[in-house]
Amino acid sequence: MSRVLHFIDLLSEWIGKASAFLVLALSFVIGYEVVARYLFNRPTIWAHELSAMVFGAYIVLGGAYLLSAGRHVNMDLIYGFLSPRKKALIDIITFWFFALFCVALVWKGGDTAWHSISIREQARTTWGPPLYPIRLVLPIGAFLLLLQGVAKFIRDAITLANGGET
């Protein structure tokens, strides 16, 4: 079981760190637009749309890594004072809401992505980029987040069973 959990952690870490490079791409796109617009008076038709797509992919693909690193938002005012066992109990109870949300994102995001792929959807803008690659990011990111959530759930169950010792 520990090998599976370790693999999930490594997968989340690898994808999270790889998606961090999207910030560089985002910086380049925005920087290019600023220079083109304000120095050369030649704004682009694609920078705003591309930056939204890159930022969306960055956010969605980084979620599992943030969960594995314990960086998601908690009510630390209360949660921070609890014992590891009580934290695990709360996390086990709330896991089911988390899992339901992730399953809905995978399911509905997958339906949307599949439809987008099947019709080779393109944006209805002047630039008109294909939308199916970015539509596919949501169900993939939600699945990775769910996978990391299951790993956390298993660890929390072990913590609860062992009295706070993992």
Asked whether residue 166 is assigned to any structural domain, the reply reads no
Asked whether residue 145 is assigned to any structural domain, the reply reads yes
| Cβ atoms of 152 and 91 closer than 8 Å | yes
> How many domains does the chain fold into?
1
Asked whether residue 93 is assigned to any structural domain, the reply reads yes
The reported pTM is: 0.92
Asked whether residue 17 is assigned to any structural domain, the reply reads yes
Cα gap 41→35, rounded to integer Å: 8
Mean pLDDT of 104-115: 98
Instruction: Write down the pLDDT at residue 107.
Output: 98
Instruction: Write down the pLDDT at residue 6.
Output: 96
State which residues form the domain around 152: 2-161
Instruction: Write down the pLDDT at residue 165.
Output: 59
Mean model confidence pLDDT for the chain = 94
Asked whether residue 37 is assigned to any structural domain, the reply reads yes
Q: Is the pLDDT of residue 58 over 80?
A: yes
Asked whether residue 46 is assigned to any structural domain, the reply reads yes
pLDDT band at 163 (very low <50, low <70, confident <90, very high): confident
**How many residues appear in the chain?**
166
Q: Is the pLDDT of residue 133 over 90?
A: yes
